[in-house]
Structure 1
């Protein structure tokens, strides 16, 4: 008679190893790079992955693993018991050249010859350096928090009219579009709001005030930066912001989500007097995150009509975006196929924000089981695996990313729902 394997206890070490093993199992080094004549990617991609699990009994459990061409087997972040900042990683800011192009991710880029700007942290004896990939539209999560804080201070209102590019809409409507289908116009409108309210101020072509940075510092987020935007709503490379000026890491992103999550246990690193969002502002944020249309990264239900579809984190697709024939239409985004089965199926709700450009893909959000499932965890992923690696024009990234999302969720289900039916 064969003895059943003893289940692995959910603790920080076992969670970190599960994340590391899940990444390695996807064989990212075999990803094809069209920018390199269809060869396999020359350098192991940069992947920053963090998870915070909330067991029904016991304290939260957190882990962060980071990969790059310099650390293809992965680094495990050293996280203090109070879930404060990472203690063994020296983060370097992403960079672009004088023409505004991302240069760190070209097939022939040589990191040893590049002049890196420190972002945060120290490597220590058992750590290493990590180039933090640009977060792409995941940056909108930072702006979402900043707008909520502005409203709570009485300097803006959710129903306040805000005019941008000749359109007048309520702040809440701009926020909803910025999050749910990643409207860049809405993002620009809200950047103008931050400037007009005095939360961000420039003088002589230089940023001299940034209350987003003040907020993040008060919350202990050392790697969240939203720098050098303009009063006209500019936040991309062309305006002097973008790559190298806007930064996020997976660990600080999951902690930002922890701060936003209305049902998460108390965040242990926060002081009693740390800023908090009002219930109304938190509800506005969660409403937008829960209605996310772009399930194209860690979850892939929006891509169910794409040839070669690979299931990801098993999230239910919000039905409000589906047309009578089952196709998805949200703002400027349209995706093919009959997706109605994904609006009634799924195992979890995934309140999240994605980001995607040619060189970058990211996704971060709050996962909660659809009853009777009960799992609850936070997840954040930032990477340089952008749309240049996508197998189809509707895809944001390689299918290996949603496959990673599925693998992680299956492991979390085993840990957080030990008596449920097998994950399927």
Structure 2
């Protein structure tokens, strides 16, 4: 049985430090430890409001020649999605409206069950952030989610026009969800591991990727094992590997089945839509929300018993993946190479960006000289200073996936404390439209930081602040 406790703040909107906030929900399994004092949702909202996301600079402001040139380009992830073209601050102006940001945090007990949650949306309509009410199943019907459209965000005060979840026309909150970018690879990985569990494929199987349609995002013919493609997709965010695995899913009927399973589990915003069976490419119609992504990560992390009850009344448990598949998935997420959004250990020793959550990164990326090199890339993946000082100061592991385009930046992962450190176990997910188009006012440009810092450091500050909060709880 799941019990829940609601701190009532009145119906509708109420004031909190000048911010609009809806009633937040704290949830507590019956046999979990007593929930500690404090309100996670309020702290998250206050932290986000204090970061002043609205003071970043737009290097391609609407109507500028730079904006027209960017629109003329293909608006897909680059071949190496965690990197970006060099940008100039010459035409940069302060972003013309509050950016679109969606952040969720779920605190976990020692059995992986939810103790409390917080979900905050920020947009031109909700400039200081608004807290999303959720029920005892970590579910909300209070948000009318709209499909991301950059032109509509630029020109229509952040207002989208295409609904992504039906039947929400009268929801009290209206929010155009940022494009999830490479974080969609969590959905792909989940689908692949289910095929493994069904016996349809093995991680050791050698697969020859032979696309029958060209794609700028996908690669040409390749041959690797399924496990090697999976590793490249998660740890270095290789788009070609993701295309390959989506094609594998299509060949086994796994894409439509996966999308229906997400709906059945009550994860309505997890939609791997518009994928091409000819090459595995995907479309702008893929969607994720921070809350549903956090719930998916909760299943991957492992939950004792029921995680939540689905809309059809059936319990949702971690048995959707086998223990071995969850362990493999967690290992891959823990070996993430691009630690540069909520955590910034790759940039250890740099004065910019600031250090995010105190994460210990995978040793596989640290060379004999003590510096980090991701994907054997001597240009974009080679960091300058030794990482050991930050490794020594680390307090947590962070099994996560990042995402980046010109119009999107995010991070989603599972945090556990290292032995001997202040205890915390939680999931944190952040989506935003603050991709490499936007830069901080204090970002060094002459000379620029190398490798390039291609998203605002405000997410690193958010990661540090929320981890400090969890460490004190």
Fold-level similarity (TM above 0.5): yes
8 Å CA contact 2:339, 2:345 repeated in 1: yes
The answer to whether residue 465 in structure 2 is matched with residue 407 in structure 1 is: yes
> How many corresponding residue pairs?
382
Residue aligning to 2:299: 259
**131, 139, 145: which one pairs with 2:184?**
139
Residue number in structure 1 paired with 2:204: 159
> 8 Å contact 1:86–1:121 — kept in the other structure?
no
Report the CA distance between 1:305 and its aligned residue.
4.8
Q: Secondary structure of 2:309's partner?
A: coil
Shift of 1:397: 0.9
Paired residue for 1:187, among 235, 242, 247? 242
CA distance in 1, matches of 2:158, 2:191: 36
Contact 1:352-1:363 at 8 Å conserved across structures: yes
Structure-to-structure mapping, 1:238-277, within 5 angstroms: 241=283, 243=284, 245-262=285-302, 266-270=306-310, 271-272=314-315, 276-277=320-321
Residue 384 and residue 11 in structure 1: after superposition, are their counterparts in 2 closer, same or farther (change >3 A)? farther
Counterpart check, 1:303 vs 2:347: yes
Structure 2 residue 456 is matched with structure 1 residue 398: yes
Deviates more, 1:159-168 or 1:377-386: 159-168
Q: What is the alpha-carbon distance in structure 2 between the residues aligned to residue 143 and residue 112 of structure 1?
A: 29
The answer (yes or no) to whether the contact 1:349–1:367 under 8 Å persists in 2 is yes
The answer on 1:347 being equivalent to 2:395 is yes
Describe the shift of the 1:344–1:232 C-alpha distance in structure 2 as closer, same or farther (beyond 3 A): farther
Deviations 1:196-245 (A, max 9, x none): 22224xxxxxxxxx112122122210111111111233424xxxx1x2x1
Alignment CA distance shift 1:123-1:24 (3 Å): farther
Query: Could you tell me which residue of structure 1 aligns to residue 409 of structure 2?
Result: 361
Secondary structure, counterpart of 1:211 in structure 2? helix
Using a 3 Å threshold, how does the CA distance of structure 1 residues 10 and 43 change in structure 2: closer, same or farther?
Answer: farther
C-alpha separation in 2, matches of 1:123 and 1:51:
26
**Residue 182 of structure 1, CA deviation:** 0.4
CA 1:112 to 1:358, structure 2 compared with 1: closer, same or farther past 3 Å?
Answer: closer
Provide the residue aligned with 1:320 in structure 2: 364
Aligned to 2:140: 86
Tell me the equivalent position of 1:287. 331
Partner in structure 2 of residue 116 of structure 1: 162
Alignment-derived partner of residue 100 in structure 2 = 46
Measured against aligned partners, the alpha-carbon deviations of 1:133-177 in whole angstroms (never above 9, x if no partner) come to: 100100000001000111111111111111223332111111111
CA deviation after TM superposition for structure 1 residue 308, in Å: 2.0
- Which SS does the other structure have where 1:349 is aligned? strand
1:43 Cα shift?
0.9
- For the Cα contact (< 8 Å) 2:144–2:163, is it kept in 1? no
- Alpha-carbon spacing, 1:250–1:34, altered in 2? closer, same or farther (3 Å): same
Deviation at 1:343, TM superposition (A): 3.4
Change (3 A) 1:152 1:32: same
Separation of aligned partners in 2, 1:88 and 1:19: 18
Q: Is the contact made by 2:152 and 2:158 (CA closer than 8 Å) also made in structure 1?
A: no
Q: Which runs of 5+ in 2 are unaligned?
A: 1-33, 62-90, 210-219, 444-448
Counterpart-to-counterpart distance in 2, 1:413 and 1:117: 38
Which one is further off, 342-351 or 134-143? 342-351
1:60 deviates by 1.1
CA distance in 1: counterparts of 2:390 and 2:100, whole angstroms: 30
Given that residues 185 and 234 in structure 2 are in contact (C-alpha distance below 8 angstroms), is that contact kept between their aligned partners in structure 1? yes
1:248, 1:59 → 2: CA distance? 20
In the alignment, which residue of structure 2 is the partner of 1:212? 258
Cα separation, partners in 2 of 1:399 and 1:71, compared to 1, 3 Å: same
Deviation at residue 59 of structure 1 after TM alignment = 6.0
Structure 1 range deviating more: 163-172 or 378-387: 163-172
Residues 344 and 186 from structure 1, CA distance in 2 versus in 1: closer, same or farther, beyond 3 angstroms? farther
Residue 22 in 1 paired to residue 47 in 2? yes
Indicate which of 29, 33, 39 corresponds to 2:58.
33
1:16 aligned counterpart, secondary structure: helix
Gaps of 5+ in 1: 1-8, 96-101, 201-209, 416-424
The answer for the alignment partner of 1:232 in structure 2 is 278
Change (3 A) 1:13 1:226: farther
Distance 2:366 2:208 in 1: 29
Q: Secondary structure of 1:315's match?
A: coil
Task: Please report how far the alpha carbon of residue 317 of structure 1 lies from its aligned counterpart in structure 2 after TM superposition.
Answer: 1.5
TM-score (norm 2): 0.76
How far the C-alpha of 1:371 sits from its partner, in A, is 1.0
C-alpha spacing 1:114/1:255, structure 2 compared with 1 (3 Å) = closer
